[in-house]
Structure 1
Amino acid sequence: MSPELLRLLVVATGDTLRMVAIAAGLGTLFGLPLGVFLATSGRGELFAAPWANRVLGILVNATRSTPFIILVVAIIPFTRLVAGTSIGTNAATVPLTVAATPFIARLVEGAIREVDAGLVEAARAFGASPLQIVLKVLIPEALPGIVLGLTLAVVSLIGFSAMVGAVGGGGLGDLGIRYGYQRFMPEMMAAVVAVLIVLVQAVQTIGDRLARRLNKRLRHA
């Protein structure tokens, strides 16, 4: 591979990492409280609001069930409103964030629902408020599961970031399509795939180790 192609690969990798980091950060910022609410707003739960829970659940499911490439095209007007353009790395973070938020919300909801209900009842018996129960019982106990969920979300975002290359989103996907496919350069396509595999493996390894460490800390607490 020539130095110029290697430079393009490094730049594209940086763009992909930036897209994924921003989307994961914003997706967690929006998805974490949404997931907590979904897990605690059912009938008879801490923040009982069955109608709100049902409506938000439908919206989350609708977004998650939309294929990502269709979602990218469908929200182009919103992407232009937020990013000022519908192409490029900055624009790509908008659909990535929209896709990540409900995905993370459901993962957080699932992790919180795995927490032993007896712990919640014990906290209630000691007079803890619903917010205190969420912050001091549910989230700490569910943290290993949440970390694993976020790891899965980041891995999925790496794959989604490659898809946005098909619509001018930049990053490794765009590089693979423009050089590997359109210019018939199999070595570039192979390099892009190899980098994506390394990124996914690194994220999964870090997430697994962090979750195990948090789990051990909870057991010894």
Structure 2
Amino acid sequence: MVAVATVITVLLGIPLGVLLTVTGPGALAPRPVLHRVLGLLVNLGRSLPFIILLVLVAPLTRGLVGTTIGSTAAIVPLTVGAVPFLARLVETSLREVSHGKVEAALAMGARRRDVVRTVLLPEALPSLVAGTTVTVVALISYSAMAGAIGGGGLGDFAIRFGYQQFRTDITLLTVALLLVVVQALQFGGDTWARRLARR
């Protein structure tokens, strides 16, 4: 559930973050109206509590996968909640790239899309990896909440077999497992980002 949502989030969130960056004031292709609209949509997506988002996107979920219950159905709200989050992190990462490098590429005759592909994304790669890691950790948290309404996964397991059956040991075991998974992912992402930064 989290893996599929992560892949879709990366495929949608990175281009959206790039678009937010290049359409901003003083950027490669300033489009004030488009930038404001995209920024508003991203801010709205990020400001909604996930438990409310689960209910709001239920019609979309039913339309796409035919149901609102289960791990497959949970992928839709997970993705909808995570794309704006990652897009904003991508925008922040790309803005940190030295403006001098962008100007140098343009001065050498690079087209705008080439600047994105050969300067912005490679220079921001360590930060993009770190941002993606943060997003995956957030997705794990979201997936645990999705379990509260039958979304499946570890959250569903903890509620059904731990909380509802008064099995504190199962609840604690699930929490411990989530902590291990999150720590492993965070460590892996941080290590990868550091290696990329050294290169």
Query: With structure 2 as the length reference, what TM-score do the two structures score?
Result: 0.99
* 1:108 and 2:90 matched: yes
1:174 alignment partner in structure 2: 156
Superposition CA RMSD, Å: 0.6
- Pick one of 159, 165, 174 that aligns with 2:141: 159
Matched, 1:59 2:41: yes
Q: Distance in 1 between matches of 2:128 and 2:26?
A: 24
Aligned partners of 2:167, 2:27: CA distance in 1, in Å? 57
Gaps of at least 5 residues in structure 1 are: 1-18
Q: Does 1:73 align with 2:52?
A: no
C-alpha distance in 2 between matches for 1:182 and 1:124: 61
SS of 1:115's equivalent? coil
Structure 2: which amino acid aligns with 1:39? T
Q: Deviations over 1:171-192 (max 9, x none)?
A: 1000111111110001110110
Aligned to 2:172: 190
Aligned to 1:5: none
Measured after TM superposition, the shift of residue 215 of structure 1 is 0.4
In the TM superposition, what whole-angstrom CA distance separates every residue of 1:142-176 from its partner, at most 9, and x where no partner exists? 00000000000000101110000111000100011
Cα separation, 1, equivalents of 2:145 and 2:197: 34
Matched residue, 2:130: 148
**Aligned counterpart, 1:28:** 10
The C-alpha deviation readout for 1:75-127, integer Å capped at 9, x for no partner, is: 10000001110000000000000011111100000000000000001111101
Runs of 4+, deviation exceeding 6 Å: none
Percent identity between matched residues is 56
Q: Structure 2: which 5+ residue stretches go unaligned? A: none
Pair member with larger Rg? 1
2: CA distance, partners of 1:75 / 1:99: 10
- Residue 67 of structure 2 corresponds to residue 117 of structure 1: no
Alpha-carbon contact 1:37-1:47 (below 8 Å) kept: no
Letter in 1 for 2:137: V
SS at match of 1:82: helix
Aligned partner of 2:9: which letter?
G
Normalised to the residue count of structure 1, the TM-score between the two structures is: 0.89
> Equivalents in 1 of 2:45, 2:196: separation in Å?
31
Equivalent position SS for 2:151: coil
Cα shift readout 1:5-56 (whole Å, capped 9, x = no counterpart): xxxxxxxxxxxxxx11111100010010000010110233212211001001
